[in-house]
Chain A
Amino acid sequence: GAVVSQHPSRVICKSGTSVKIECRSLDFQATTMFWYRQFPKKSLMLMATSNEGSKATYEQGVEKDKFLINHASLTLSTLTVTSAHPEDSSFYICSATKSGTSGDLRYFGPGTRLTVT
């Protein structure tokens, strides 16, 4: 199989604090991981593409200094929401592609629901 986990599954934080979300590929190596944001009843919006060992590529309109992405190993990528505000409250989902493949198949994590109070 190809399992992707995320931690935490839910987090509540106060406005102005930072939150780190982890995305792990449990049984495969992931050269590339993707971070999505999903608002209620909306589609998945790609925030950034994370390649192991290099800087993430951010989508237009996504603040790289606010959403820090680190992909330090082939099995772990982290998203840190810095100085969180209520408008950052959302469902954050990561996905990964297996190293050595075409990259078409995506394996999704279970998501992290962030609530900023």
Chain B
Amino acid sequence: GENVEQHPSTLSVQEGDSAVIKCTYSDSASNYFPWYKQELGKRPQLIIDIRSNVGEKKDQRIAVTLNKTAKHFSLHITETQPEDSAVYFCAAHATGFQKLVFGTGTRLLVSP
């Protein structure tokens, strides 16, 4: 089955810096890779996703890159703000299969 690893587990940055979170997956059949932001006690919120037919996707300060050959994908947040502080989860999914497999999470702390 699919296995998703995520690094780092915690990340502290100063406001305005960039943050990068990396994930690797094992199943070459996976073709959809969402990223979720979860604040304490809240539901995970989809912040960006990428499908396997593209290598990069950007939405304002957030971007995701995908390297299918190496089976890894990364989340990039630029110009970080204190409100970006949360736990971020990557995930991988293969269309046609029901299971969405989550990474272990990264706790991002943005200090003012």
Residues of A within 8 A of B (CB): 32, 34, 41-44, 46, 49, 57, 91, 93, 95, 102-106, 108-111, 113
Contact = CB atoms under 8 A, between A and B. Distances in A.
A34 B91 CA distance: 15
B99 interface: yes
The residue among A34, A91, A108 with the most chain B CB atoms within 10 A of its own CB is A108
Given A104-B93, A111-B43, A113-B41, A49 B98 contact: yes
B72 to A, nearest CB: 18
B95 A104 contact: yes
Interface residues of B, number: 21
A110 B43 contact: yes
Contacts of B46: 105-106
Given A102-B95, A103-B95, A104-B95, A44 B102 contact: yes
B41 A43 contact: no
A98 B98 CA distance: 12
B99 A43 contact: no
The residue among A44, A46, A102, A111 with the most chain B CB atoms within 10 A of its own CB is A44
Nearest to A60: B1
Contacts of A42: 104-105
B89 A106 contact: no
A73 B89 CA distance: 30
Contacts of B61: none
15 contacts: A34-B100, A41-B105, A43-B102, A43-B104, A44-B89, A44-B102, A46-B99, A93-B43, A93-B44, A103-B95, A105-B34, A108-B44, A110-B42, A110-B43, A113-B41
B42 A111 contact: yes
Contact of A109 (B41, B43, B89, B107): B43
Contacts of B89: 43-44
A10 B42 CA distance: 12
B87 to A, nearest CB: 8
Given A44-B44, A108-B43, 17 more contacts: A32-B98, A34-B100, A43-B89, A43-B103, A43-B105, A46-B99, A46-B101, A49-B99, A103-B98, A104-B95, A105-B34, A106-B34, A106-B46, A106-B100, A110-B42, A110-B43, A111-B43
